[in-house]
Amino acid sequence: MERRVVITGIGAITPIGKNVEESWKSIENKKCGIDRITAFDVSTYKSTLGAEVKDFNPADYLDIKQTKRLDRSSQFAIISAREAFKDSGMTSENTDFDRVGIFVSSGIGGLITIQNQCTINCEKGHSRISPMFIPMSIANMPAGNIAIDLGLKGESISIVTACASSTHAIGEAYKTIKHGYEDAVLAGGTEASICEVGIGGFENMKALSNSDDKNRASIPFDKERNGFVMGEGAAVVVLEELEHAKKRGAKIYAEVIGFGATSDAYHITSPAPDGEGGAKAMTRAIEDAKIKPEEIDYINAHGTSTSLNDLTETMAIKKALGDASKKVMVSSTKGNTGHLLGAAGAVEAVFCVKAIEKQIVPPTINYKVKDENCDLDIVPNEPRNAKVNVVMSNSLGFGGHNASIILRKYED
């Protein structure tokens, strides 16, 4: 028998907040977390804006040994996982930690560490490379480090599907609990790729916005959009089998009811031009949830602010929802946070949980010029008080990876 899966804890550290509450308040207050990059000198770059985690000092959260042995991506992961785990109220007295998994992803992994150690190799030779280079940089280590930090001994994996990574992580965690393999899973993603090679690589790909106006750089679905703005941070949600959660008296935020994933099988970076792959992922999620398209109240779109993504995602939503696409509320919170790559889906899942809890739809901030080809109800600029009982969140990654999850307001 399939088991019901609920969300009992949430944690985040983002460009607009050091925790979930700060981040959500920033959504309600329409805060833009984008500004000129401070991590390095961007004077020779065309893309000078980023969405950094502001005033971050790892020593405020971690001991000295940890700060030296963890890449920034793992630091973010542990911080958000601790918040989610504490929020869940899960302890060794009410939960068997052997049946708690960690599905935490990163699209790129420890890119800052890779850059730094490659520089040392070039300047000082291979003998000066840190013995911690590999364990700090490989993409599975955020999940591994969370397991070590919290003492969780269930399945621990890191699903790498570019910008769909953490939505895949949440979806696969949902399936793992649904079919009885674990009682709970901490699922989400982390990313810290704002560095010279990270910005340079995406800039030379012509994926980044060249705007120097932070309020006109990440503008999803706006006709004047010209690329995404890279963000950093992490988010983790605690997924749990319903009866297990009820038995220990956990607070239940929402229920996970559907997951769908597909591949475009089209191009290494460009989405399929007709939106077919994304549409099929949404359709699979809807079928898994056993709902009708018109039951979806709100879609948190991938909405990266690139010309191709926003257009093809619009087409995909229309294909998947049919006539219901004319009424569903749609927004992208990347105007607030920038694009957190592999962590984007997890951060947006947290915002979807809060949207259900507060019955508020996050706005697409800094939206000014309507694109007639992106003719959905984009929810511009102001939060919208509305019925938010069923929410879909989409993530689309390089390589043609598509993932969609559906959450519903919990009812016993």
Q: Kindly list the structural domains of the chain, giving each domain's residue range(s) and its CATH number in brackets, ordered by start.
A: 5-247 (3.40.47.10), 256-408 (3.40.47.10)
- The SS3 assignment for 24 reads helix
pLDDT at 167: 98
Q: What are phi and psi of 309, to 5 degrees?
A: -60, -50
Going by C-beta distance under 8 Å and a sequence separation of 6 or more, which residues neighbour residue 187?
A: 102, 103, 104, 166, 169, 170, 172, 173, 174, 236, 237, 238, 239, 346
Q: Tell me which residue of 113, 207, 104 sits closest to 165, measured CA to CA.
A: 104
Per-residue pLDDT, 334: 98
Q: What is this structure's pTM? A: 0.98
Put residue 186 in one of left, alpha, beta given phi > 0 → left and psi -120 to 50 → alpha: beta
Residue numbers of the chain with a pLDDT score lower than 70: none
DSSP 206: T
Given this model, what pLDDT does residue 125 score?
Answer: 98
Instruction: Report the distance separating Cα 222 and Cα 216, nearest Å.
Output: 9
Q: Write the DSSP symbol of residue 370.
A: B
Length of the chain counted residue by residue? 412
Q: Where are the alpha helices (DSSP H) in 125-241?
A: 133-137, 141-150, 165-178, 196-204
Known catalytic residues?
163, 302, 339
If 0-12 CB within 10 Å is exposed, 13-18 middle and 19+ buried, where does residue 67 land?
Answer: middle
Cβ burial of 98 (10 Å; 0-12, 13-18, 19+) is exposed
Distance CA 158, CA 168 (A): 10
The pLDDT of residue 384 is 98
C-alpha torsion sign, points 330, 15, 21, 88: positive
Rounded Cα–Cα distance for residues 299 and 401 (Å): 18
Please give the pLDDT value at position 412.
87
